[in-house]
Amino acid sequence: MIRTFECLLAWCDRPVKHKGFCATHYARHKNGGDLSAPIRPYIRYSGCAVSECGGSHHSAGLCRHHHTLWRANGHPSKMPRLARRRRFKRTCGIETCTNASYSFGHCEEHFTRLVLFGDAQSEESVRGLTMPSSTMLGRRLGLSKQRADQLLNPSKHRARQLLNSALKRGDIVSGKLCSLCEEHHETEAHHLNYEYPLAVIWLCRTCHNTLHTVTA
């Protein structure tokens, strides 16, 4: 028996991978592809194809940064939009209301009525009533607990978003020392006032949970 080290196809000189075929032709044979179709040559890129960029190659001839721009905008030189289109209007969704949007496309008053009564335009009094928990609101509106908590506390959610963006940009650096126990732990940010998203103290998880329990 003569053992061959080349693909069974006469026009292919690639080494055998499995069942007499090279890796490409075996994959085509297995998936029912056309064995006679030409094989696209493999191109080894040394760097990003953008002339002004000296970054290393990531995919499709581009570095990671320009590849992200290409996928998002169709061209590696186009910068992404600075802000996403808002899902809800900046004013209340009720036509007769001109108050600023607070959460879920409604002002604070109409959002409270939506949560409590299921109808933002309800005329019932909200005096003496308390807002439901995020779990109850999620069940009522068919949302996850995390999403319901974001709707109930939009200022807290916005402050966390701005803080995370600042951390990614390197505008601020997370602390390595807990402000309460003064020990080196993995720290978490605690907002003293959500109106000031970047004014935080860094606490370990134990002290952070204790502080929320005491101030609850």
> Tens of pLDDT along 12-57?
878 888 888 888 888 888 888 888 888 777 677 778 888 778 788 8
pLDDT at 80: 46
Q: What mean pLDDT value characterizes the chain?
A: 79
- Residue 88: predicted pLDDT: 46
pLDDT for 216 equals 61
Could you tell me which residues are beta bridge partners of residue 184? 177
Q: With 70 as the cut, is the pLDDT of residue 72 above it?
A: no
Residues 8, 21: contact at Cβ < 8 Å?
yes
Inter-residue contact 96 to 82 (CB < 8 Å): no
Q: What is the DSSP string of 65-80?
A: HHHHHHHHHSSTTSPP
Helix axes 145-152 and 134-141, enclosed angle (nearest 10): 110
Burial class (CB in 10 A: 0-12, 13-18, 19+), 39: exposed
Residue 86 pLDDT class (50, 70, 90 cuts) = very low
Measured CA to CA in angstroms, residue 45 lies from 50, 57, 60 at distances of 12, 6, 9
- What pTM did the predictor assign? 0.45
